[in-house]
Homo-oligomer: A and B are copies of this chain.
Amino acid sequence: MISFEEALTKIFEVRLPAINFEKINFITGLQRVLAENILFDMDMPPFDKSAMDGYACRKQDIFTEMEVIELIPAGKFPEKAIIKGQCSKIMTGAPIPTGADCVIMVEHTEELPDHKIKFLKDSTKTNITFKASDAKKGELVISKGTLIKPQHIAVLATTGYPEILVYKKPTIGIFSTGDELVEPHLKPEPSQIRNSNAYQLLSQVKTLGIDAVYYGIVKDQPELLYNMISKSISENDITILTGGVSMGDYDYVPKIFDQLGLHTLFDRIAIQPGRPSTFAINGSGKFCFGLPGNPVSSFLQFELLIKPLIYRFMGHIYEPKNLFLPLGADFERKKSEKLSLIPVKFNDKSEVFPVEYHGSGHINALIGADGVIFIPKGLTNLSKGDLVNVRQI
């Protein structure tokens, strides 16, 4: 049995097969990972630009009436330079005319007859955004390995990357194992339950922008399991199955991993829930996870262990920042031999409260949870106000 930290290290250090790239339209780039650095192809802003609608003039002139010599809309270069006693009306985003060193905002001006203007108020600001003040041509703005969010799309548009190089997504196969499982549209017989884990996992993968292949429910029979694991491994980069990894007589998965020549990197983690989580690799760099059959275990071990591996395939180092928030009530547990994950809710002061949680089979335990907290090995008691390590879910 290894610690959770050791298991995570294996996920981050295991050798991946050669990673592939593809060129895509930047508009479809959300949730993809950049395989190239993005540089500014021009200064930002590319010219001295007005930050206001107003009048561009010389600061030293602002207490005299001034003649308005030009109207400068955004998108057009000024035709006239400003000299003493002159100003140009200028729109937000338009280039500053030569000779002007400030913009007085329109709200602080009064129009007079004959294209004259007077200023009602001085301004301490220039209201000019100077050329290259945000970034210089050639400057790195988004690094290779960045997971693309909407704010990156804006930068890709601005920097002129209508096509971007991204890492290919891994292919993922998912199935559930267990004689007790039936599909959701069926009414279970007594002793049966409906298959929930596979659909939860398909959805978890979908939140990463990946459509996994679903292979159904596999009965607890060694040949069927052997064939399905073999098929999924041959067809996908990563296989995720649930059930069949514990100590029962019908838990054939570990043995079949051996028969298939998979090298098991871990099969027990000192964590609750999720202890029998199993991770194996074959000689061609195909990965297989065996997750426990309980829905809370399966959900959390996907979040903690599988997500980082999927992101590694996509060229991204996934290290979500855990939050440190205060407990809203005392917490106590009986045993402390393992790292425990406890589902919690936050109130509107960001205080953390455990939600009702009966254990790893408690199907609706995560419904109202905002996250899980990590209770380290050896710790049984925590007090209201103690900062706890929270992973948002």
Contacts and interface: CB of A to CB of B under 8 A. Distances in A.
A77 B359 contact: no
A179 B71 contact: no
Interface string A116-159: 00000000000001000111000001100000011111111111
A106 interface: yes
Most B-side CB within 10 Å, residue of A91, A133, A141, A370: A91
A195 interface: yes
A201 B195 CA distance: 38
Most buried by B among A94, A193, A197: A193
A185 B41 CA distance: 12
Contacts of A26: 184, 199
A358 B133 contact: yes
Contacts of A202: 27, 153
Contacts of A322: 348, 350
A323 B299 contact: no
Contacts of A115: none
Given A184-B26, A321-B370, A75 B364 contact: no
Given A187-B160, A249-B89, A325-B350, A199 B73 contact: no
Contact of A178 (B74, B192, B201, B299): B74
Contacts of A47: 190-191
Interface in A37-81: 41-42, 44-47, 49, 51, 53, 71, 73-77
Nearest to A129: B361
Given A73-B250, A150-B207, A364 B141 contact: yes
Looking at chain A's contact residues, is the secondary structure mostly helix, strand, loop, or mixed? Answer: loop
24 contacts: A27-B202, A30-B203, A30-B207, A41-B187, A47-B191, A51-B359, A74-B178, A74-B220, A75-B181, A92-B246, A93-B193, A93-B361, A105-B247, A133-B358, A134-B362, A135-B363, A141-B364, A141-B367, A151-B366, A151-B369, A152-B367, A153-B202, A154-B295, A324-B349
Contacts of A93: 178, 180, 193, 293, 361
Contacts of A251: 53, 91
B42 A188 contact: yes
A51 B296 CA distance: 14
Contacts of A196: 154-155, 157-158
A325 B181 CA distance: 44
A354 interface: no
